[in-house]
Amino acid sequence: MQLYNKLSAEERVNLIQEVGKNRLTLSFYAYAHIENPTNFRNDLFIGWNKLDALGRIYVAHEGINAQMSVPAEKMEAFRETLQAYDFMKDIRLNVALEQDNLSFLKLTIKVRGKIVADGLNDKTFDVTNIGTHLKAKEFNEILENSNTIVVDFRNHYESEIGHFKGAITPDVETFRESLPIIKEQLKDHKEDKNIVMYCTGGIRCEKASAYFKHQGFKNVFQLEGGIINYAKQIAEDGLESKFIGKNFVFDHRLGERITNDIVSQCHQCAKPCDNHTNCENEGCHLLFIQCDDCKATMENCCSTECQEIIHMSLLDQAKLRSGVKNGNKIFRKGKSDKLTFKYAGDRSAKLEKVEQPVDNALTSSENRKDIRQKTKVKKIVIGRTEHYYVKAQVGLFIIENHSITVDDKIMISGPTTGNQEMFVKSMFVNGSDGNHAVPGDKVTLALPFRIRLSDKIFKVLE
């Protein structure tokens, strides 16, 4: 009886691509009393693993919270697994607007104390006494009411790239932080205002609305199904979108575009941009907004310090990370002082340039000198690996930045592959013989070494 994943992410990608079938990215949640979350978790894993369903799922005594990728042809069978539980019969599935067969590469089901960390003692109030659900049309109408206050219960890195017009967007890193902040901010409007809440898929508002009603707020409303369901409804019903920008999502896409508005900026140059990236440095992985130009110049890194570190040997990088307890400091999601341009919360605030601080021991003058001495190759990232054909020893790459030409020297780099250099002697561009490829092109190269799907392709600068 299999209760855990046996395939690596790379093996899963190969399998999905070889099968060539469409998958659907979706999310759902349900509050319910679950007597034995561990048994529930195991039963779900067994059933969903048979269907090749993937995703990130949390279960607790209070219910289930799931973001998943399911084969399109097995959706009915998947729905049947939900119907087996009374509290999930006829449950709403929020299907993503933009589909990606590789949105999730593992089936991870974890037992947690809560399905959303909110810091609340649920025994002190009725969690089922929730606010009034609003569909998209009703939500648009109530936003036009001058007596309405609309509140975004997501985190700053989510609301920064997209939000409802006029919404309060707390400058917080977690849901539990936002609850006391919003309660204090709205304490004088418990009876005279419509308190309208929204979040990504509805789960955070489900708990927040019950909590605010318990705190004495009389007119509490929430967007049914969150932004995901709202976007679907406005498209189907031809409604105006009161949401502007992108909706942040928690799979590798990191965002679904709702409107063409770009309401945020590159955290490194202040150019209008709403694309998130994770710092390339394994010891950092900071989530931040980075435009294509900065991505190319900074090699997917959040700072020059991290850029220097990625040029070190993998062994030296591991030594540098060893024993460093950064905790949440490296996962501040766009709040690091390393970022020259950043803003969150108050969208009317002026954008200010922040002085680059002197970092900890990693960036002291002595260590900076050591890092520079170990930087042997100057290179610029130009794309990523899409596929590796083992028998043919051929790699398929997507060119994302700059260009590549026959006779260019390149490096393919990754945690397992290491840094492999070679000259391009010939290549296929979009399936045909070619000498030059630009961003958007797919390039096939014969390789004298094995590569992995997490590898990047660089152009070596002489």
CB 117: neighbour CB atoms within 10 A?
Answer: 12
Structure tokens at 458: 């660089």
Q: Tell me the C-alpha distance between 122 and 47, whole Å.
A: 30
Amino acid letter for position 7: L
* E-state strands within 72-161: 94-95, 107-111, 132-134, 148-152
Distance, in Å, from the CA atom of 165 to the CA atom of 170, rounded to the nearest integer, reads 14
CA atoms within 13 A on the CB side of 413: 22
Exposed, middle or buried: residue 355 (CB in 10 Å: 0-12, 13-18, 19+)?
A: exposed
- In single-letter form, the type of residue at position 233 comes to Q
Burial of 298 per CB tally in 10 Å (0-12, 13-18, 19+): buried
Q: CB-side exposure of 73: number of CA atoms within 13 Å?
A: 5
Interatomic CA distance for residues 384 and 374, integer angstroms: 24
**From CA 132, how far away is CA 442, in angstroms rounded?**
49
The H-or-E segment that residue 83 falls in is: helix 75-83
Catalytic pick from 199, 266, 291, 294? 199
How many CB atoms neighbour CB 126 within 10 A? Answer: 10
Based on its alpha-carbon atoms, the radius of gyration of the chain, rounded to whole angstroms, reads 24
Q: For residue 353, what are the β-bridge partners?
A: 341
Cβ–Cβ < 8 Å for 455, 418: no
Cα torsion through 206, 211, 212, 216, rounded to 10: 140
Active-site residue flag, 306 = no
Tell me the C-alpha distance between 393 and 449, whole Å: 7
Active site residues: 199
